[in-house]
Chain A
C-alpha cells in the first residue's frame, strides 16, 4: 500500500532504497542529506542492530549497518544482507580515500544484480591525501551512475538524489561462470545465486533445490560454495578498476595519521587513553550522574514535581478504601508510577542516556573506539573478552544500565554474556560509588585499596571462570581502524537524538511494568517477608538483620543501598564487608530490566542468582578473614 492510498504517510512505501557501504564512509550523513522529514530508528527485528528509516519521495529510505561485503560474518552483516536482498535500489556509499577497499562491496552488489547508484563520498579528503579519482571513468568502468560527493558539506547530494532513478546493474558480470556449478533446478534469484557460490550459509538454508534426499531433508547447498575463488577473482577485478581510475600523489602524513600513530603506541597511547577515559568518567559519572541528576531529583522532582503530583492525586481520589491501593500504586514513596518512576525515567535515565549516546557518538565518529580496543586487547583477552569490551567496562563505572547497551559492540554472543555478567557483578556505578567512597573515606585509605582490590579480584576470577565454563572460544580481535577525524557536531547531535528517542520508546513500558510489579509486592507486604527470609544469609556474613533492608533497597537502586548503610551503626570490618556485598549484589532494577531486554530471560536469571551467590560467598569469606 502506498502513502497516497492510505493518506497519512508513515514510512511505508512500495519501493525501498537502501544505503549500503563500509563502516565510517559517511553513510549516516548521506542519509541525513537524502532523507525527507520523518526519521525513525528501530531495532532490526530479532536483533540488537539499529536501523534507520525515512521517507524518500514515494519510496522508503533505509540505512544499513556498515559492512565490507554482503555475507553473514556477524549480526550487522546479516541485517545488511536481509535489507539488500529486499531492496529495490541500493545507494552504495564509497569512501574515495579507500576506493580499493570499498569497491569489493560495490562489485559484489553488481554481481548480485542489484540496481545501484554509487556515491563517491569524501572527495575532499581524497584530494587532501593526493588521491585523484576520475568519476566519469569509474562510471564507465562500473556501468552504473557514480556521483562524487562531500556529504558533510552537502556537496553532490542533490545530484545523487536526482540520479537514484538511474540506478542499474550490468546485464551480466563475471560471477556467472560460477553459477554453472549450482544444481540445475535451484530456484534462486541472481542475488541469491551469488551468495550461494560464495558459500553463504543462511542463503543455502533458505534456498531449496526442490529435491528431497533420502532422509527427508533437502540436500545442503553449502558445499557448492567457492568463496575463496569468487572473492579472489573479485579482488582482481577491484584492482583493475581502481588502477584504471585512480592516481595517487605522495603527501606528507596528515595530523590524523600522526595522532593515530601516537594512539597505537602503548607508551604514548596509554596516557592519552587514560586521560580520555578519565574525561568520559568525569562527564558521565560526575557531571551528569551526580550533579545534573542530583539537581533534577532533589530540586525539580523532590521540591516541585512529586509534591504537586502527590497533592493532586490525593485530592482527586476519594478517601474510600477501594481507592487506597490505586493511590499507593500511583504515588508510593518507593516506586510510585506517577512520582518516583517518572523521576527515575526523566530525572535519572534521560540525562544519562543523552550524555552516554553523545559520548559514544564522539568516540565512534572520531575513530577512537577501535584504537582503544587495540590498546586494551591483551588485558581483556585473559578474561575471555577482546579489546572491544573496554567500552562497556568504562561506561559501566559511569552507569551500568547504559553500559549494558554498549555490550552490543563487543562481538559475539559469548562475549556479550561475559561482559554483561561482569558489569552486573563487579562494576560499581558512579551513583553508588559516590556514597561508597564517602563511607570508605571514614574507614581509612587502606580500606579503600582493599575495596578496589577485592573488586578487581572478583572481576578477574569471574571472567576467568566464565571464559573456562562457557562453550566456545573467545573471538579474536579483527577490526579495521578507520581514519581519525574531528567529529561533526550536527551528526553527533542527530545520532544522539535518534538513539535517545528509540531508547525511551522501548524502555518506558518496561520500567512502567516493573514499577507496578514492585509496588504490588510492596503493598501486599512482600518486602517484610523477604527481609525475614534473608535473616540467615545476613547472619552468615556477620551483619545485623537490618542489613536485609539495605539489600532490598539495593534492588531498587544501588545507591539507595549504599545510602542506607550510612544510618547503620557498624564496626569497621562489618562496614567493609557490607559495602563489598552491596557492590557485588544484584544490579539495580533499571540495569536488570536492560539486561533482560538485551540478553534473554535465562541469562538474566542466571546473572541475578549468580550475583547473590558471589556477593554472599565473598562477603562470608571476608567476614571470616577479617
Chain B
C-alpha cells in the first residue's frame, strides 16, 4: 500500500512523490518542497499537516495530505 502524507508523524522526514492536484503541485515545486526530503513538523489531529524545508514552513489541509503519496527518506525510520 502506498503511504500518504496524512499518515506521517511529526519528526519524520519524507519525500513527496505524487501530488495529484496540479496547482498545488506547481506551488510546492516553486517553493522547493518537491526537491527532496522535507520534515513533517506538526500535525493537527484530522487537521492540517505542517511541513518544513530549509526553514520554510508550509501547511496543507487534511484532504490534501490524504491525497499526496510519499516515501520515507530514510529506510530505517
Contacts and interface: CB of A to CB of B under 8 A. Distances in A.
B44 A378 contact: yes
Nearest to B65: A476
Nearest to B46: A378
A477 B48 contact: yes
5 contacts: A73-B27, A375-B44, A377-B62, A378-B48, A476-B64
Interface in B44-67: 44-48, 50, 54-64
A519 interface: no
Interface string A260-279: 11001110000000000000
B48 A481 contact: no
Contacts of B21: 476
B23 interface: yes
Given A235-B35, A239-B35, A264 B42 contact: yes
A479 B58 contact: yes
Given A101-B54, A378-B44, A378-B47, A373 B59 contact: yes
Nearest to B24: A478
A478 B58 contact: yes
Nearest to B52: A481
Across the A-B interface, give the 7 residue pairs with the lowest CB-CB distance, nearest first: A477-B61, A476-B61, A378-B47, A481-B57, A264-B42, A476-B64, A69-B30
Nearest to B57: A481
For chain A, what secondary structure do more than half of its interface residues adopt (helix, strand, loop), or is it mixed?
helix
B59 A477 contact: yes
A97 B26 contact: no
Contacts of B23: 73
A545 to B, nearest CB: 49
Contact of A68 (B31, B47, B50): B31
A478 B32 contact: no
B46 to A, nearest CB: 6
Instruction: Name the residue in A98, A373, A377, A387 with the highest tally of chain B Cβ atoms < 10 Å from its Cβ.
Output: A377
A249 interface: no
Interface residues of B, number: 31
Contacts of B44: 264, 266, 374-375, 377-378
Contacts of A68: 27, 30-31
Given A68-B30, A265-B42, A478 B60 contact: yes
A101 B26 contact: no
B55 A129 contact: yes
Contacts of B32: 100-101, 104, 235, 238-239
Interface stretch (A8-16, A182-190, A224-232): A224-232
Given A377-B61, A378-B62, A98 B56 contact: yes
A73 B26 contact: yes
A264 B30 contact: no
Instruction: Name the residue in B30, B31, B42 with the highest tally of chain A Cβ atoms < 10 Å from its Cβ.
Output: B30
A481 B61 CA distance: 13
Given A73-B27, A104-B30, A264-B42, A478 B57 contact: no
Interface size class of A (residues with CB under 8 A): 35 or more
A135 B48 CA distance: 37
A370 interface: yes
B53 to A, nearest CB: 8
Interface string A213-257: 000000000000001100110010011000000000000000000
Given A235-B35, A377-B44, A377-B48, A480 B29 contact: no
Contact of A374 (B25, B35, B50): B50
Nearest to B49: A374
Contacts of A374: 42, 44, 47-48, 50, 59
A153 to B, nearest CB: 22
Interface string A359-371: 0000000000010
Given A98-B56, A235-B30, A481-B59, 20 more contacts: A98-B54, A100-B54, A104-B30, A228-B26, A231-B26, A231-B29, A239-B35, A370-B59, A374-B47, A374-B48, A374-B59, A375-B44, A377-B61, A378-B46, A477-B61, A478-B60, A479-B58, A480-B31, A480-B57, A481-B50
Interface in B3-20: none
Contacts of B42: 261, 264-265, 374
B23 to A, nearest CB: 6
A577 B8 CA distance: 49
Contacts of B62: 377-378, 381
Contacts of A306: none
